[in-house]
Amino acid sequence: MTSSLKLSAFGDGSFSNPTLFRSIVGGLQYATITRPEISFSVNKVAQFLHNPLESHWKAVKRILRYLAGTTEYGLRFSKFTNFRIYGFCDSDWASDVDDRKSTNGYGIYLGSNLVSWASRKQTAVSKSSTEAEFRGIADAVTEIIWLQNLLSEMRIACSTKPVVYCDNQSAVMLSANPIIHNKSKHFALNQSFVRDYVTRKKIFVQHIPAQDQLADTLTKPLSTTTFDRFRKLLRVFNTESS
């Protein structure tokens, strides 16, 4: 998806074959199981299944052309002995041009392998970028807790405490702040949930520079150079050249 593209439910004419649009987007959702780098684009076009426009169809065709040109790419898993869980989370604040809801994205790693990822639109409008980022942290922490429980049932012990990397300094500081400020009361539930695990040292939330935040791939369209760099970090490689 081009980095300047802003899809809207309003605009040019309706697409002539809505059934075809829904069928292809449904198929693309299955493709995200092994191609995490297209999760954001597929999630975005899936928001217009009720009334697809020509602009939405052009975006779908661009995704199809990308997949056709990268059929040899796939998600790679490698053997490892260090059972370390860590994740990256990000949020694109008020990115939807129609309702100003934000988009969350996270990628969770076990050892050196990407094992869980998501790109989804928030259910409520965030009043600040800190709130939007904190909702993303809460989503990532929830997924990590689930993964820890799964490993525990399999009697696999993690080598270190899980870490969540976020590029928003305010959200990182709030995760360990025992005081709920007036400006954060509107997302106090998420704050209390995350802070409880951070206070008990069950999970750590750390800051990461924005240029190293690979979860950007799951929240917004990127330039080709940045997209290619983050695609490698998501462990999507050319399988024919390996």
Task: Report the pLDDT value the prediction gives residue 164, as an integer from 0 to 100.
Answer: 97
Task: Report the pLDDT value the prediction gives residue 227, as an integer from 0 to 100.
Answer: 96
Distance CA 143, CA 176 (A): 19
CA distances for 79 relative to 82, 83, 110, 159, angstroms: 10, 11, 11, 16
Task: Report the pLDDT value the prediction gives residue 240, as an integer from 0 to 100.
Answer: 78
Domain ranges of the chain: 7-71, 85-216
| CA atoms 136, 138, 141, 146: torsion sign | negative
DSSP states along 92-151: ETT--TTT---EEEEEEEETTEEEEEEEEE-SS--SSHHHHHHHHHHHHHHHHHHHHHHH
Distance CA 121, CA 173 (A): 24
Contact indicator for 94, 126 with CB cutoff of 8 Å: yes
Task: Report the pLDDT value the prediction gives residue 184, as an integer from 0 to 100.
Answer: 53
Give residue 75's Cα distance to chain centre.
16
Contact indicator for 205, 137 with CB cutoff of 8 Å: yes
Q: Return all residues near 84 (Cβ < 8 A) that are at least 6 apart.
A: 109, 110, 111, 158, 159, 160
Task: Report the pLDDT value the prediction gives residue 183, as an integer from 0 to 100.
Answer: 54
Task: Report the pLDDT value the prediction gives residue 8, as an integer from 0 to 100.
Answer: 94
Task: Report the pLDDT value the prediction gives residue 14, as an integer from 0 to 100.
Answer: 93
Q: Return all residues near 80 (Cβ < 8 A) that are at least 6 apart.
A: 111, 112, 113
Q: Tell me which amino acid residue 132 is.
A: A
| Burial degree of 81 (CB within 10 A; 0-12, 13-18, 19+) | exposed
Q: What is the mean pLDDT for each group of 10 consecutive residues in the chain (242 residues)?
A: 91 92 96 96 96 96 97 92 93 94 96 95 90 92 94 89 94 75 59 84 94 95 95 92 62
Distance CA 80, CA 124 (A): 39
Domain at 85-216, CATH from 3.30.420.10, 3.20.20.70, 3.40.50.2300, 3.90.1150.10: 3.30.420.10
Cα angle 140-143-144, degrees, rounded to a multiple of 5: 85
Rounded-to-5 percentages of helix, strand, coil across the chain: 45, 15, 40
Distance CA 237, CA 210 (A): 23
